[in-house]
Amino acid sequence: MNTDSVISVQKLQKRYADMEAVKGIDFEVQAGEVFGLLGPNGAGKTSTVEILEGLRPRSGGEARVLGFDPERQKQQLKDRIGVCLQATNLPAKIRVQEALDLFASFYTRSLSSEKLLHRLQLWDKRSAYYDTLSGGQKQRLALALALVNDPQVLFFDEPTTGLDPQIRLEIHSLIEEMRAENRTVVLTTHYIEEAERLCDRVAIIDEGKIVAMGTPRELQQKSRTQSHIQITCSEPVNQPLPPWPNAVDVALDESRRQLTAYSSRPAQTLFEIMRWMDQQNMQLEDVHLKKPTLEDVFVELTGKRLRD
Amino acid sequence: MKPYLALMKIDLKLALRLRMVIIFNYLFPLMFFFIYLAFMRVRQEPHRIYQVLAMVITMGVLGNGLFGAGMRAIQERETNILRRYKVTPITPAPLMVASMVTSWLIFMPYIIFVFVVSHYKYAMPWPSHLLEILVFISVGMVAFRGIGMVIASVANSMQEGQILVQICYVPMIFFSGATVPADVFPATMQFISNFIPATYLVRGIQNMLWQNQGLYAQRGLVGILLLAGILGATVAIKLFRWEKDEKIRTSAKLWVVAVLLPFLIFGIVKYQQQRKTTGQSNPGASKAEIKQVIRESSRS
C-alpha cells in the first residue's frame, strides 16, 4: 500500500446474495488526482464507491480512504469526505440556504453557505423551495452540499447523468476547480467525453473487474484499435494505390473518391498519402483523422458498448 | 448537539409549511372534537366533556404517533431523502429525536386549545393536575411515536406501512375505549382491551380528568408507556434503514411484537389482578347494559 495514497483498495469484493458485483479489484488514488471509474450500468462502479464512502459493507478485501477504514470508521470518514449521489432528494419545502445550513451542522467543520451559494450560482435561488428548482439547480445544490464540509476527497457518482449540455459543462468546470484546489476526486461515469476531459487516470470496470487502468492517453495508446484516416479527393482515383508504410486496410469507396486507411502511426501515413497525392497531381477535398477513443478501448477490452 | 437543534429547527419549519400537517394536526382533530361535543350532548350533560377529551386526545396521540412518525419516515426513505443524510456523519438518533420533539411542539397547542375550549365554552373546571396531565399525554406521545417508528423500520414500502399502521390503529381506537367507553364492553372485549396499548393512555387520561388523580397515581401506566416508547426507539434505531433498496427480512417484522410485549405482560398481570379481586374474570357489561348505551347513543 502506497503511503501517499489518499484511497487504497486491495482485492475489494462485494457480493449481493448470489451475485458478485465487485470481484477483487485493486487501485490507488493519489492526493489531488481526479480518478475515473468508467463502465456500463451494473459494472460495479457504484458498489465500489459506496463501499469507499462508508455506505455499504464490503464482502472481502481491504479499503482505506484518508487512512480510515470505511466500514469500521464510518463517522470519522464521512466527516472528511464529500459525496454527490446519483439519486437523492431533499424535502420539497426546504429552502436552498436552509438545506446548506442544515447539512453544515452535521460536520465538525464547514464552509460559509454564502460563499458556496455564490460559487454554485445559487445565490439568487437561496430562498427558493427545493421543489421549485430545475434539474440543473438541484444538481448544483447537491454539489454544494457535497462541498459544505470543505472535504479533502470528493466522490461524484454520475454527476451529470440526465442533465443538459450547459449544466454538464458547468459541473465539469467545477470538477476542474476541485482539481486546481488539490482536492482528490473520484468520479464514476459512463460518459466518455467526461472521463477523457476530467480524469487524470481512469479505471475501466466491467463485470466487477478492472480491465484496464491508466491515463486516458495511455489507454488510447495501448489500444490495438488503429487511427482511422479518411480522405476525399476532388476526382476519382484511377491509379493503383501504393503500399504506404504502417497503413493497413486501405480501400476506396464505390465512387473511388473516398480513401480510407487504418494506421498505427497516423501522422506518418497521412504524410505519405499527401505526398503521393501531390505526386499524382490530385486535389484534396476533405480529410478526417479519428484516433481511438476510450469507448473504442472499452469495446476492444470487453466486447460491449459503455451504455449497454 | 448541533445536528439535533438544526434538525428540530428545520423539522418545525417544514411542518408548518405543509398543509397536510396543519390539516392532520389541527383541522381534523378539532373537527372530531366539535363533532363529539355535539354528538355526546355535552351542553346538556356537562360531565361528558371528560369522555370527549379522553377520546379526542387519544385519537390525536395515536394519529400523531402512528401516521405522523411511521408514515413520514417511510415516505422520506422511499423518496431518497434519507439517502442524502446517509452520506453525512449523523446517526439515526438525531433524526428520530428531532421528529419526536417537533411533533410534540406541534401537537401540544391543540391539547391546550381543547382544554381552553372545554373550560370556557363548556364550563369544565380546570383539572387539579393540568400540568401533570400534559406530562402524561407527552409520555403517551413518546410511546406511540416509538411504535410508529418501529412500524416505519419494518415496513418495506408505503403500502406495507399503511397496512401495518391500520392494523395497529383500528383495534387501538375501538378496543381502548377511545371511541366507545370500555365499561360497556362485553367480557371478551374487556379482556382484549387489557392488551391494547391505547387503553393505558385512555385510562390514564380518564383517571386524571374524572377522578382528579395526579401523575404519581398513574405511575404504572407511565412506566409501561415509557417502556414501550424506549423499546420502540431502541428497536427503530437498530432497524433504521436509510435507503428504499435496503429491504428487511419478513421475520424482522416480529420486532413490532417485541415493542408491544410490555403491554402483553401488563395485560396478563392486570387480568390476574382482576381475577383475584372478583374471584373470576371481569364479566363486563351485560347485554341489557350494552343495549342501554346503544339506545342512549342513538337518541343523542
Q: What is the ipTM of this complex?
A: 0.80
Q: What is the mean pLDDT of chain A?
A: 87
- Mean pLDDT for B271-285 is 61
> CB distance from B88 to chain A under 8 Å?
yes
Instruction: Tell me the chain A residues in contact with residue B84 when contact means C-beta distances shorter than 8 Å.
Output: 85, 88-90, 145
Instruction: Tell me the chain A residues in contact with residue B6 when contact means C-beta distances shorter than 8 Å.
Output: 101-102, 105-106
Distance, C-alpha B279 to centroid of its chain:
32
Q: What is the pLDDT of residue B281?
A: 45
Global pTM value: 0.80
Instruction: Tell me the chain B residues in contact with residue A75 when contact means C-beta distances shorter than 8 Å.
Output: 89, 91
Q: What is the pLDDT of residue B170?
A: 87
Alpha-carbon radius of gyration of chain A: 24
- Provide the β-strand partners of residue A186: A35, A155
Q: Write the single-letter amino acid at B126.
A: W
Per-residue pLDDT at B290 exceeds 60: no
Mean pLDDT highest for which of A298-302, B85-89, B292-296? Answer: B85-89
Q: What phi-psi label fits residue A17: left (phi over 0), alpha (psi between -120 and 50 degrees) or beta?
A: left
Contact state of A102 with B6 under an 8 Å Cβ cutoff: yes
Q: What is the pLDDT of residue A94?
A: 95
Grid coordinates given for B166: 391500520
Contact state of A89 with B14 under an 8 Å Cβ cutoff: no
B279 pLDDT band, cuts 50/70/90, is low
Q: What is the pLDDT of residue A306?
A: 60
Contact state of B3 with A106 under an 8 Å Cβ cutoff: yes
**In this structure, what DSSP letter does residue B195 have?**
T
Instruction: Tell me the chain A residues in contact with residue B79 when contact means C-beta distances shorter than 8 Å.
Output: 89
To the nearest whole Å, the CA of A121 is away from the closest chain B CA by: 21
Q: What is the pLDDT of residue A252?
A: 87
- State the Cα–Cα distance between residues B281 and B192, nearest whole angstrom: 12
Q: What is the pLDDT of residue A224?
A: 60
Contact state of B83 with A87 under an 8 Å Cβ cutoff: yes
- Mean pLDDT for A90-101 is 94
- Mean pLDDT for B230-253 is 82
Mean pLDDT highest for which of B120-134, B251-265, B268-282? Answer: B120-134
- Mean pLDDT for A54-59 is 91
What is the β-pairing status of strands A227-233 and A258-263? antiparallel
- State the Cα–Cα distance between residues A307 and A40, nearest whole angstrom: 5
Per-residue pLDDT at B294 exceeds 80: no
> CB distance from B19 to chain A under 8 Å?
no
Q: What is the pLDDT of residue B295?
A: 54
Facing residue for A90 by CB, picked from B81, B86, B89: B81
Q: Which helix (H) or strand (E) holds A82?
A: strand A81-84
Q: Which residue has the higher pLDDT, A278 or A300?
A: A278
Instruction: Tell me the chain A residues in contact with residue B80 when contact means C-beta distances shorter than 8 Å.
Output: 87-89
Grid coordinates given for B186: 362485553
Q: What is the pLDDT of residue B292?
A: 56
Per-residue pLDDT at B222 exceeds 50: yes
B213 and B222 Cβ atoms separated by less than 8 Å: no
Q: What is the pLDDT of residue A254?
A: 86
Per-residue pLDDT at B161 exceeds 70: yes
> CB distance from A19 to chain B under 8 Å?
no
Q: Of A47, A84, A88, A127, which to mutate for an interface test with B (greatest number of B Cβ within 10 Å)?
A: A88
Alpha-carbon radius of gyration of chain B: 20
Q: Which helix (H) or strand (E) holds A205?
A: strand A201-206
Could you tell me how many residues make up chain A? 308
Q: What is the mean pLDDT of chain B?
A: 83
Counted across chains A and B, CB pairs separated by less than 8 A come out at: 58
Q: How far is CA B203 from CA B177, B210, B221, in A?
A: 8, 10, 8
Q: What is the pLDDT of residue A3?
A: 59
Grid coordinates given for A257: 473518391
Distance, C-alpha A84 to centroid of its chain:
14
Contacts (Cβ under 8 Å, ≥6 apart) of A147:
A82, A111, A116, A119, A154
Q: Find the distance separating the first CA and the last CA of chain B, reported in whole Å.
A: 53
Share of chain B above pLDDT 70, in %: 92
Q: Which residue has the higher pLDDT, A245 or A119?
A: A119
**Spatial CA neighbour of B193 closest among B209, B180, B205, B206:** B180
> CB distance from A102 to chain B under 8 Å?
yes
> CB distance from A109 to chain B under 8 Å?
no
Q: Could you give phi then psi for residue A9, rounded to 5 degrees?
A: -130, 130
Q: What is the number of alpha carbons within 13 Å of residue B119 lying toward its C-beta?
A: 12
What is residue A290's three-state secondary structure? strand
Counting other chains too, the contacts that B120-125 makes at CB distance below 8 Å and 24 or more residues apart are: B122/B37, B122/B42, B122/B43, B122/B46, B122/B49, B123/B46, B124/B46, B124/B49, B124/B50, B124/B53
Per-residue pLDDT at B285 exceeds 50: no
- State the Cα–Cα distance between residues A134 and A131, nearest whole angstrom: 8
Per-residue pLDDT at B133 exceeds 70: yes
> CB distance from A87 to chain B under 8 Å?
yes
Q: Of A85, A102, A143, which to mutate for an interface test with B (greatest number of B Cβ within 10 Å)?
A: A102
Q: What is the pLDDT of residue A291?
A: 75
For the ranges A158-172, A204-218, B279-293, the lowest mean pLDDT is seen at B279-293
> CB distance from B16 to chain A under 8 Å?
no
Contact state of B86 with A94 under an 8 Å Cβ cutoff: no
Contact state of A106 with B5 under an 8 Å Cβ cutoff: no
- State the Cα–Cα distance between residues A308 and A299, nearest whole angstrom: 11
Cβ neighbours of B25 (radius 10 Å)? 21
